[in-house]
């Protein structure tokens, strides 16, 4: 039996679900691969729970309980502390798993790669920061990052398989925001944007401030990750995103923005009508080609795979030298705690088997 140590950064909804899935799959991994995934440390922005040895199940459960109560891991009894996870001293290589949404981890993770550890990411920010940091994380294939783009969907694996087999990617088109996909569907069904937006916010489909979704910045980061995976040496400035609101509304408070959402209704009703007039569908689309990228609202023809998209599903269309006439399409839920955690766990297991 080979024990593979894990240091997990981030214990929000996805992070806690990931821990539960790791614990639930221990017997199967031992049986099929003779692998044991052991937690050396669990970390959040407030500190680290680590004892110098593998955490026991009781210690892990205590950490999850503390987080569910809104407390930091630094408050858990034992050898927890307020020190950052980057200060951990390890005697062996480990898998560093970042399921936070925190900025500034790229250099610290790259240092761990340089010392022989491996990295698994759901956090998009390390891969959409500077190109040098992206390249350092990718050194020797040390980082897996499936969940950064499509949650549990096999997007990076599909793209990497195309590239590894010598295919040439000429175009990627994707709808990769469940929130914006939901809004497009509601607009097509005849709802005003303000009504659909408030409903989505009340249901928890959006970020606490829905402008975090409506800015398109998250989609742009995903598009940049796809582009860099294809070998394009781009920065986030090379992936312009069209926001759903004018600059004048960026400075409002969240409540003021939601109260004034009707100001957006007329322009979006006009865009939906324009799409209907030409027999198309309005979608928020990221496009990546070797010549450049764009992220924004587009009218797609009815025969396009994106036109059939409904609700919060994601869809990725890969046009390549081999898939020139009929693009390769991957479609399915692109969000959700259980699905995202499962995507991360699959990367952890694949990495552990390589180690």
**pLDDT tens for residues 171-196?**
999 999 999 999 999 999 999 999 99
User: What's the pLDDT score for residue 169?
Assistant: 98
DSSP helix/strand/coil, 12: coil
User: What's the pLDDT score for residue 172?
Assistant: 98
Considering the entire predicted model, what is its pTM?
0.94
User: What's the pLDDT score for residue 282?
Assistant: 96
User: What's the pLDDT score for residue 326?
Assistant: 94
User: What's the pLDDT score for residue 104?
Assistant: 94
Q: Which three-class secondary structure string do you get for 188-255?
A: HCCCCHHHHHHHHHHCCCCCCCCHHHHCCHHHHHHHHHHHHHCCCCCCHHHCCECCCCCHHHCCCCHH
Cα 152 from Cα 340, distance rounded (Å): 5
Q: Is 222 an annotated catalytic residue?
A: yes
Alpha helices, DSSP H, located in 102-207: 106-114, 131-138, 147-150, 155-164, 178-188, 193-202
Catalytic residue among 67, 79, 124, 222: 222
> What values do phi and psi take at 106, rounded to 5?
-60, -45
pLDDT per position as a tens digit, 113-157: 999 999 999 999 999 999 999 999 999 999 999 999 999 999 999
User: What's the pLDDT score for residue 81?
Assistant: 67
35 near 2, Cβ under 8 Å?
yes
C-alpha closest to that of 129 among 225, 242, 263: 225
C-alpha closest to that of 84 among 74, 76, 70: 74
- Name residues of the chain where pLDDT drops below 50: none
> What values do phi and psi take at 296, rounded to 5?
175, 180
């Amino acid at each position: 039996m080979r024990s593979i140590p894990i240091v997990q950064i981030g214990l929000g909804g996805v992070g806690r679900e990931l821990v539960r899935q790791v614990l639930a799959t221990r017997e199967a991994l031992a049986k099929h691969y003779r692998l044991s995934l052991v937690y050396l440390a669990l970390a959040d922005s407030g500190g680290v729970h680590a004892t110098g040895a593998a955490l026991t199940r009781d210690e892990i459960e205590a950490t999850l309980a503390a987080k569910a109560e809104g407390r930091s891991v630094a408050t858990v009894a034992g050898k927890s502390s307020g020190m950052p996870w980057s200060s951990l001293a390890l005697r062996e290589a480990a898998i560093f798993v970042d399921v936070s949404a925190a900025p500034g981890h790229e250099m610290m993770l790259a240092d761990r790669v340089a010392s022989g550890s491996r990295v698994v990411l759901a956090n998009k920010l390390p891969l959409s920061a500077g190109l040098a940091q992206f390249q350092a994380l990718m050194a020797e294939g040390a980082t897996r990052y499936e969940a950064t783009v499509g949650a549990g969907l096999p997007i990076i694996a599909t793209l990497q398989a195309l590239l590894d087999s010598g295919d040439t990617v000429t175009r990627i088109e994707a709808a990769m925001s469940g929130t914006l996909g939901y809004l497009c569907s509601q607009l097509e069904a005849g709802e005003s944007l303000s009504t659909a937006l408030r409903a989505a916010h009340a249901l928890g489909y959006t970020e606490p401030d829905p402008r975090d979704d409506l800015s398109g910045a998250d989609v742009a980061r995903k598009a940049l990750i796809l582009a860099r995976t294809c070998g394009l040496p781009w920065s986030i400035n090379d992936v312009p995103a069209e926001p759903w609101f004018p600059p004048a509304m960026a400075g409002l408070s969240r409540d003021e923005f939601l109260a004034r959402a009707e100001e957006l209704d007329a322009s979006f009703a006009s865009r939906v009508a324009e799409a209907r007039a030409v027999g198309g569908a309005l979608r928020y689309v990221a496009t990546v080609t070797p010549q450049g990228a764009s992220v924004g609202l587009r009218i797609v023809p009815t025969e396009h795979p994106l036109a059939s998209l409904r609700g919060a599903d994601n869809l990725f269309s890969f046009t390549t030298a081999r898939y020139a006439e009929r693009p390769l399409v991957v479609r399915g839920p692109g969000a959700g705690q259980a699905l995202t955690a499962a995507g991360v766990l699959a990367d952890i297991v694949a990495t552990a088997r390589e180690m």
